[in-house]
C-alpha cells in the first residue's frame, strides 16, 4: 500500500496536479480517467483537489499523478528539507551573503536525482529562484506563468520567494510598467520582509512616486545599518542613485561617491552578483545621466573583467563611451567577445575594432543589420549609440555619407 499523504502536502499537491495538467495540455475530463478508461474521480472531486481542498482518499491523488506519467512517495526527510530550504533562501535574500547562496546551491545539487512529483518541482523552483537572482538564467514566458500560479497556493515563506522571483523577472526582463505596478497590493502585504521592501522601492521608482520612495528608502537603510548588511546596503544605494538621477537631485554625486567607496572598501565581502550589478548601474549612470564617458568606460572595464558575460548586454555602451572620450577600448575586453554570442549591436563594434572593417563596410552594416534591429527592438538609448557612430563616420569622411545618415535618422523622427 502507498504511504499516507499528509494533509499539508495534499493542499499543495492538488494545485500542482492542476499545473502539470495544464502544462501537458490535458482537459479535466481526460485526467479523471486512467489509461484503461476507468474513472479515477468525478469532475467535482478533481475541482476540489485542484483548488487545494483535502480529499481523504489518498488513492485518488496517486492515480491522478500516475495519469500525469509521474510518481509520488511521501518522504518526511524531503519534507524537512523543503522547509529548511525555504527559510535558508529567505535568510539569503535578507542578507545577500554570497557564501549562503553557494551553500544552498551545493545543497540543492544533492536533490538532482529526485524525480518524485511535488518534491522535484519544489527543488527545481528553489534552484531557479537562486539562479535568476544571480543573473545566471532568465525565465521563459511559460516558466514565469508557472511560478505566478504556484505563488498563489504555496505557503509562507515559500510564496514570498516566488513573489520575489516573479517581480524581479517582470522588472528586469519584461519591463512592462503596468505589469510591474500590478504587484503593488501583494508587495504591500509582505513589507515585513526586507527583500520585499527593496522590491517595492523598484516599483515606486517605476511609478515615479519619489516622496514615498524616499520615506521607505530611509526606513530600509535604517534596518540595513542596524544589521550591518553590506550587500543589501550596496544594492539599495545603487537603487537610490538611479532614483536621484531620475529626479535630478543635487545629492547624486554624494551618493555616487558613497557607493563607489563602499565597493572599493568591501569588495571582498560583497556578493559577486551584487558587485557586478552595482558596477553596471554606476557605469550606466555616468554614461547616461552625467555624460562622463571617460569615467563610464573605466567602470565598464572593471565590470567586464569581473563579469565577462555582461559584455553581451552592455558592451555597446562601453565602446560608445570609448569613442565619445576618444580612447581605444582595452584589447583584453575585445578578446573576451565570442562573435557567436554577440547580438547585432555588439557585432558592429566587433567588426569595427577586431575585423578591420572599412568605413564603407561599417556604413553598409549600419544601413542594413543595425537599422532593421533598431526598428524592431531598439530604444532611445541604443538609437543614440548609433547616431553617435554615424557622426563619427561622417567626421572621418566629410560630405560622403550624409544621405545615408539622413535616411537612417528619418526612421526615428
Instruction: Name the pLDDT band for 317 (thresholds 50, 70, 90).
Output: very high
Is the separation of the CB atoms in 80 and 8 below 8 Å? Answer: no
Q: Minimal CA–CA distance to 324: which of 357, 367, 352, 287? A: 287
User: What is the reported pLDDT for 399?
Assistant: 64
CA triplet 141, 147, 149: central angle to 5 degrees? 105
Per-residue pLDDT averaged across 131-144, rounded?
Answer: 87
Report yes or no: 164 and 129 within 8 Å, Cβ to Cβ: yes
Is the pLDDT assigned to residue 130 strictly greater than 70?
yes
pLDDT of 106 higher than 70: yes
Average pLDDT, the chain: 92
Four-residue CA torsion sign, 398, 399, 400, 402: positive
Residues 6+ apart with CB under 8 A from 284: 296, 314, 317
Whole-number pLDDT of residue 177? 85
**pLDDT greater than 80 at residue 248:** no
In angstroms, the CA 207 to CA 245 distance is 15
Asked whether 93 and 195 are in contact (CB, 8 A), the reply is: yes
Q: Report phi then psi at 26, rounded to 5.
A: -90, 145
Burial of 275 (0-12, 13-18, 19+ CB in 10 A): buried
Cell triple for 5 = 499523504
C-alpha cell belonging to residue 376: 524592431
Residue 319 has pLDDT above 90, yes or no: yes
Q: Which three cell numbers stand for residue 53?
A: 481542498
Residue 355: predicted pLDDT: 75
Is there a contact between 12 and 154 (Cβ–Cβ < 8 Å)? yes
DSSP state of 137: -
Q: At residue 181, does pLDDT exceed 70?
A: yes
Contact 268, 284 (CB under 8 A): no
pLDDT of residue 123: 96
Query: What does the block give as the cell for 185?
Result: 497590493
Indicate whether 128 pLDDT > 90: yes
Separation of alpha carbons 338 and 312, rounded Å: 9
Report cis status (omega within 30 of 0) of the bond before 157: yes
Whether the per-residue pLDDT at 168 is higher than 80: the answer is yes
> How many CA atoms, within 13 angstroms, populate the side-chain half-sphere of residue 208?
5
pLDDT in tens, 4-59: 999 999 999 999 999 999 999 999 999 999 989 899 999 999 999 999 999 999 99
Q: Does the predicted TM-score (pTM) go above 0.85?
A: no
- What angle do the packed helices 293-306 and 272-284 form, to 10 degrees? 160
Residue 60: pLDDT above 80?
yes
The 10s digit of each residue's pLDDT in 338-349 is 999 999 999 999
The three-state secondary structure class of 60 is helix
- Distance in angstroms (rounded) separating the CA atoms of residues 110 and 96: 22
Grid coordinates representing 228? Answer: 550591518
Amino acid at each position: 500500500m502507498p504511504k499516507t499523504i499528509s494533509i499539508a502536502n495534499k493542499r499543495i499537491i492538488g494545485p500542482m496536479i492542476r499545473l502539470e495538467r495544464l502544462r501537458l495540455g490535458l482537459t479535466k475530463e481526460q485526467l479523471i480517467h486512467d489509461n484503461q478508461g476507468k474513472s479515477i474521480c468525478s469532475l467535482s472531486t478533481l475541482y476540489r483537489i485542484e483548488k487545494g481542498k483535502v480529499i481523504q482518499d489518498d488513492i485518488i491523488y496517486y492515480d491522478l499523478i500516475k495519469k500525469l506519467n509521474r510518481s509520488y512517495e511521501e518522504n518526511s526527510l524531503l519534507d524537512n528539507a523543503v522547509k529548511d530550504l525555504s527559510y535558508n533562501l529567505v535568510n539569503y535574500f535578507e542578507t545577500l551573503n554570497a557564501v549562503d547562496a553557494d551553500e544552498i546551491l551545493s545543497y540543492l545539487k544533492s536533490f538532482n536525482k529526485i524525480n518524485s512529483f511535488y518534491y522535484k518541482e519544489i527543488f527545481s523552483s528553489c534552484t531557479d529562484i537562486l539562479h535568476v537572482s544571480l543573473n545566471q538564467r532568465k525565465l521563459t514566458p511559460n516558466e514565469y506563468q508557472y511560478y505566478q500560479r504556484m505563488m498563489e497556493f504555496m505557503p509562507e515563506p515559500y510564496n514570498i520567494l516566488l513573489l520575489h522571483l516573479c517581480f524581479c523577472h517582470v522588472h528586469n526582463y519584461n519591463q512592462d510598467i503596468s505589469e510591474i505596478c500590478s504587484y503593488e497590493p501583494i508587495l504591500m502585504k509582505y513589507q515585513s520582509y526586507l527583500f520585499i521592501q527593496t522590491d517595492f522601492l523598484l516599483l515606486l521608482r517605476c511609478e515615479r512616486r519619489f516622496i514615498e520612495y524616499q520615506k521607505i528608502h530611509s526606513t530600509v537603510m535604517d534596518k540595513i545599518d542596524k544589521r550591518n548588511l553590506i550587500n543589501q546596503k550596496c544594492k539599495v544605494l545603487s537603487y537610490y542613485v538611479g532614483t536621484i538621477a531620475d529626479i535630478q537631485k543635487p545629492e547624486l554625486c554624494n551618493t555616487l561617491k558613497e557607493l563607489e567607496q563602499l565597493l572599493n572598501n568591501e569588495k571582498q565581502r560583497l556578493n559577486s552578483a551584487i558587485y557586478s550589478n552595482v558596477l553596471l548601474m554606476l557605469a550606466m549612470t555616468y554614461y547616461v545621466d552625467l555624460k562622463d564617458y571617460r569615467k563610464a568606460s573605466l567602470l565598464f572595464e572593471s565590470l567586464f573583467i569581473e563579469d565577462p558575460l555582461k559584455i553581451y548586454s552592455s558592451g555597446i555602451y562601453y565602446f560608445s563611451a570609448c569613442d565619445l572620450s576618444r580612447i581605444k577600448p582595452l584589447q583584453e575586453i575585445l578578446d573576451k567577445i565570442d562573435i557567436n554570442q554577440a547580438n547585432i549591436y555588439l557585432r558592429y563594434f566587433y567588426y569595427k575594432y577586431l575585423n578591420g572593417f572599412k568605413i564603407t563596410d561599417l556604413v553598409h552594416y549600419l544601413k542594413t543589420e543595425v537599422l532593421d534591429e533598431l526598428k524592431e527592438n531598439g530604444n532611445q538609448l541604443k538609437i543614440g549609440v548609433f547616431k553617435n557612430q554615424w557622426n563619427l563616420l561622417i567626421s572621418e569622411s566629410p560630405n560622403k555619407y550624409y544621405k545615408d545618415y539622413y535616411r537612417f535618422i528619418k526612421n526615428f523622427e
